[in-house]
Amino acid sequence: MAQTTANHTVTVSGWAAHDSSGKITPYTFKRRENGVNDVTIKILYCGICHTDLHYAKNEWGITMYPVVPGHEIIGVVTKVGRDVKGFKEGDRVGVGCLAASCLECEHCKTDQENYCEKLQFVYNGVFWDGSITYGGYSQIFVADYRYVVHIPENLAMDAAAPLLCAGITVFNPLKDHDLVASPGKKIGVVGLGGLGHIAVKFGKAFGHHVTVISTSPSKEAEAKQRLGADDFIVSSNPKQLQAARRSIDFILDTVSAEHSLLPILELLKVNGTLFLVGAPDKPLQLPAFPLIFGKRSVKGGIIGGIKETQEMLEVCAKYNITSDIELITPDRINEAMERLAKNDVRYRFVIDIANAAASNN
């Protein structure tokens, strides 16, 4: 399959992984010309998601090298196609995980493009023209306007970048379970990382009692004092788990590592829901008894549609919610990847693409 097609004439500087070592190095490639439905974006910031690490190292076995990661893209529109609606030059915009979908199926027509069977991602995907998609670890991006969102003026652009993946990933299940507009529930968040810390912020903003469930006792002060969590449970502490049995209405599990679901399920009330948004490499064991004896449900989901992503950003603007970030220059991407693999970040790395020239890469 061709990596580019005849209309790919725009030379772009970026950063790519070329093999399963995952090492990211400077990479020059071609993007498509701005089409009638496209906007060209000067990238200012791009978040580093754990998914980027998986793809860079081919941990899921589906990477098409060279891969230019990055699906938390923030920038400014520099060119607008003839048929584009709702965007103009100079607009602050974002692009998340989605590059293309069929636009015709029931999911696309109900603003759930993220569940389209022909969905293609902004990197390591195949666009409509047959070219392989390259992501936001680059200085320019060309996107179909139907997969672009506006960034509200009062949100810091660098700290807003992770909202385009991590933010919508945790917002979607909260909205689906009527937890955005109906306060007063008890919700749990498993894992206090890039997704989990935003979930805690949402939960508190929406008026809920929030419990963080973590393997790390050292995170309790951070969870309560900095993020405002009401309770903290160490998932390996039997006494704490027993004391909290059947106390939580809804639990959002953000952990991407292998872990036991049994103690988490026992925390749910009867009719409670466990919603998975993490993606462990190995299958999780699902015990039947906590489901049967508690009428509990286990569900999962991936990001959200474009309309809902825009709604999420407006909600973030209302409550002044952004990600806690560590801003890095592109020459530190590999260092950031190594630290991310060790969960050594509070809570999301964001690449300062705009200052790429200063990093001499």
Tens digit of each residue's pLDDT (9 = 90 or more) over 303-319: 999 999 999 999 999 99
Provide the pLDDT for residue 235: 95
Strands 73-80, 92-95: pairing is antiparallel
Determine phi and psi for 93, rounding to 5 degrees.
Answer: -135, 165
Confidence band for 360, pLDDT divided at 50, 70 and 90 = very low
Tens digit of each residue's pLDDT (9 = 90 or more) over 68-100: 999 999 999 999 999 999 999 999 999 999 999
DSSP state for residue 35 in the 8-state scheme: -
Provide the pLDDT for residue 336: 97
For 244-281, give the DSSP string: TTT-EEEEEE---S---SHHHHTTEEEEEEEEE----S
Q: What is the mean pLDDT of the chain?
A: 95
Provide the pLDDT for residue 355: 87
Tens digit of each residue's pLDDT (9 = 90 or more) over 195-229: 999 999 999 999 999 999 999 999 999 999 999 99
Confidence band for 257, pLDDT divided at 50, 70 and 90 = confident
Provide the pLDDT for residue 4: 64
Are the CB atoms for 196 and 107 separated by under 8 Å? Answer: no
Q: Is the peptide bond before 347 cis (omega within 30 degrees of 0)?
A: yes
Which residues contact residue 51 at a Cβ distance below 8 angstroms, ignoring those fewer than 6 apart?
A: 69, 71, 165, 279
Cα 1–Cα 80–Cα 118 angle in degrees, nearest 5: 35
Tens digit of each residue's pLDDT (9 = 90 or more) over 30-66: 999 999 999 999 999 999 999 999 999 999 899 999 9
Query: Domains (ranges, CATH) in the chain?
Result: 10-165+304-359 (3.90.180.10), 166-300 (3.40.50.720)
Are the CB atoms for 171 and 312 separated by under 8 Å? Answer: yes
Answer with the residue of higher pLDDT: 360 or 165: 165
Tens digit of each residue's pLDDT (9 = 90 or more) over 17-40: 999 999 999 999 999 999 999 999
Three-state secondary structure call for residue 130: coil
Structure tokens of 101?
A: 């979908």
**Mean of pLDDT values over 112-134:** 96
Q: Is the pLDDT of residue 357 over 70?
A: no
**Mean of pLDDT values over 135-139:** 98
For 140-206, give the DSSP string: EEEEEGGG-EEPPTTS-HHHHGGGGTHHHHHHHHHHHTT-SS----EEEEE--SHHHHHHHHHHHHT
Are the CB atoms for 201 and 321 separated by under 8 Å? Answer: yes
Structure tokens of 275?
A: 């919603």
**Mean of pLDDT values over 130-159:** 97
